[in-house]
A and B are shown apart, each in its own frame.
Chain A
Amino acid sequence: MKILIVDDFSTMRRIIKNLLRDLGFNNTSEADDGNTALPMLQAGDFDFLVTDWNMPGMEGIDLLKAVRADEKLANLPVLLVTAEAKKEQIVEAAQAGVNGYVVKPFNAATLKEKIEKIFERIEASK
C-alpha cells in the first residue's frame, strides 16, 4: 500500500509517517501542499492520501476536490487530518467526498481507527 502524506509542517509529516509505519504501512511519500501533492498523485500509483487542510499554496480541501475531479484519482481514499474544527468545514469536507476526518491534536489510536474504518468500508463496497 502506497500512501501520500501532505502537510506543510515537516514535524507533523514525520509523526504521521511513524504512526503509519507502526500500523504496518512502510511505503509512504511526503508533500508540503496541494500543488506539490497533485502531480505526485497523478504520476504515482498511490492507494491512500492523508492530508492537512490549512496549507500555503493549495489547501487540503482544494486538493480533495481536485482528486475527486480527476478521473484517474476519483476513487482514491482521502483522510483529512487538520486543526480546523468548525462544523461548516467538516460538512464542506464531507460534501467534497472525504473518507475520514481527524481533528488535531489527535492520538495514535484515533488515526489507526479512522484508517481501519476507511479500508473496511472500501472492502465492504467491493
Chain B
Amino acid sequence: MALSESILSERCLEQARGLVSSIESGDEGKAVDHLREISRLNETKMFQEIGRLTRELHDTLVGFGIETEISELAEHEIPDARERLSHVINVTDQAAHKTLTAVEEAIPVCSELEASASHIEIQWKRFISRDLSADEFRELSREIGSHLEISADRYTKIKLYLNDILMAQDFQDITGQIIRRVITLVQDVEDKLVGLIKLSGDLDSDLPKATKKPVEKVLEGPQVPGKESATALKSQDEVDDLLSSLGF
C-alpha cells in the first residue's frame, strides 16, 4: 500500500526523535533500529516517487500518441524495412550474377573471333607479299569463308550478352526506390526518438506536438516479395489483361 507523504514524514520525525532519545539514554541497539526504520521509510518514499514519474511518463506518451507510434515502428515498420533491405540484397545479387554470366559467356565468343581473325591476318600479309603457296592460299580462302560464316552469328550472340548486361542495370532504379522508402522510415524513427527524449527530459515544459503519422503514400514503388499489396498485379501479362478489359 502506498503511504501518503505526510504520514511518511510524520513517521520519519517519530523515528528521528526516538533515535535522539535512545542515543541520549545510551541504548545503542534501539538507536540502530531507529536508523534502519528511517532508511526503510526513505526507500519507500523513493520508490513511490519513481512509480509516480513512470506513470506520468506513460500517461504523457499515451496522451501524445507516441507510445502507439513507437510500438507500431517496432512491430511493423522496422521488420518491414528489414525485409525491403533483404530484397535489395537479392536484387543486386541477381543483377551482378546476370552481368557476370553475360561477360563469362561473351568473352570466349570474342576470343574465338579474335583468334580466327589474327590467324587470317597473318596469312593475308604473307599472301600480299607473295609468300604463300597455292595450297596455303586455298587453306586461307577456306578459313576466310568459315570466319565470315561464323561472324554474323557470333556478333549477334555478343549483342545479346551486351543487352543482358544493359537490362541488368535496372536494379539501380528498383533498389533505389526501395532504399528511398527505408530512408524515409529511418527519418521517421529518428523524429520519434527525438520527440521521446524531449518528453522524458522535460515532462512539464513545452511538450512537442504529437508527431503526425506519416501520410500513407499512394505510390508504393516496386513490390517486395512477401509484402505485395492486395491489389498489386503480379506480371506484365496481368497488366495487359487489365488494360484490354478496359478497352486497350
Contact = CB atoms under 8 A, between A and B. Distances in A.
A86 B222 CA distance: 10
Interface in B212-233: 218-223, 229, 231-233
B239 A86 contact: no
A104 B174 contact: yes
A4 B239 CA distance: 23
A86 B166 contact: no
Interface residues of B, number: 28
B236 A110 contact: yes
B222 A104 contact: yes
B232 A85 contact: yes
A19 interface: yes
B53 interface: no
Contacts of A88: 231
Interface string A15-50: 100110010000000000000000000000000000
Contacts of B232: 85-87
Interface string A64-76: 0000000000000
B2 interface: no
Given A53-B219, A83-B221, A86-B229, A15 B166 contact: yes
Interface string A52-93: 011000010000000000000000000000011111111100
A101 B239 CA distance: 8
Interface in B162-179: 163, 166-167, 169-170, 172-174, 176-177
B152 interface: no
Interface stretch (B63-71, B77-85, B121-129, B240-248): B240-248
Contacts of A108: 163, 167
A11 B236 contact: no
Nearest to B217: A54
A56 to B, nearest CB: 9
Nearest to A11: B172
B243 A105 contact: no
A15 to B, nearest CB: 6
Interface in B21-70: none
B172 A54 contact: no
Contacts of A101: 239, 243
B222 A94 contact: no
Given A94-B246, A107-B167, A9 B172 contact: yes
A102 to B, nearest CB: 7
B236 A106 contact: yes
Contacts of B221: 54, 83-84
A12 interface: yes
B174 A86 contact: no
Given A12-B172, A91-B242, A102-B239, 6 more contacts: A15-B166, A15-B169, A85-B239, A87-B242, A101-B239, A104-B222
6 contacts: A18-B166, A85-B233, A87-B233, A88-B231, A94-B243, A105-B174
Interface of B: 163, 166-167, 169-170, 172-174, 176-177, 218-223, 229, 231-236, 239, 242-243, 246, 248
The 5 A-B residue pairs with the shortest CB-CB distance, nearest first, are A83-B222, A11-B172, A9-B173, A12-B173, A87-B231
